[in-house]
């Protein structure tokens, strides 16, 4: 099973700051996907196939990476970005796995 380790587990940033969330895989994966989940709500697809923004996602978000290291980057954080972000991979064989999540708070 491919284990995904996210860092940091929690972070706080002020509006306008740049934020980077990292997801490291225990073995190489082809793509990484990211979800945003706000408190009490269902997860939402946020970034798919490593770098493609889901519908409605602001372009201050971006995704990058390859192999075992991937990142979600927010170029200039806004208050509405406060949420928990999860990375997720699907290797050739199940199971598909999620990272433990990164809780992003606004200062």
> What residues make contact with other proteins under the rule CB under 8 A?
30-31, 33, 35, 37, 42-45, 48-49, 54, 86, 88-90, 94-101
Of 44 and 60, which has the nearer Cβ to other proteins?
44
3-state secondary structure of 99: coil
Measured in residues, the chain has a length of 107
Q: How far is the CB of 34 from other proteins (least distance, A)?
A: 9
- Whether a cis peptide bond, with omega within 30° of 0, leads into 65 is no
Query: 71 and 22 in contact (C-beta within 8 Å)?
Result: yes
- Whether a cis peptide bond, with omega within 30° of 0, leads into 78 is no
Q: How far is the CB of 73 from other proteins (least distance, A)?
A: 18
Query: 36 and 88 in contact (C-beta within 8 Å)?
Result: no
Of 42 and 59, which has the nearer Cβ to other proteins?
42
Q: How far is the CB of 78 from other proteins (least distance, A)?
A: 23
Of 77 and 99, which has the nearer Cβ to other proteins?
99
CA distance 78 to 25: 28
Of 55 and 79, which has the nearer Cβ to other proteins?
55
């Amino acid at each position: 099973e491919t284990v995904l380790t996210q860092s940091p587990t929690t972070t706080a940033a002020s509006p306008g700051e740049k934020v980077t969330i990292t997801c490291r895989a225990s073995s190489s994966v082809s793509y990484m996907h990211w979800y945003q989940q706000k408190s009490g709500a269902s997860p939402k697809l946020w970034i798919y196939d490593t770098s493609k923004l889901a519908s409605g996602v602001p372009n201050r978000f971006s995704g990058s990476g390859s192999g075992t290291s991937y990142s979600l980057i927010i170029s200039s954080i806004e208050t509405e970005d406060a949420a928990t972000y999860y990375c997720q991979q699907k290797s050739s064989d199940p199971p598909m796995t999620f990272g433990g999540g990164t809780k992003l708070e606004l200062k």
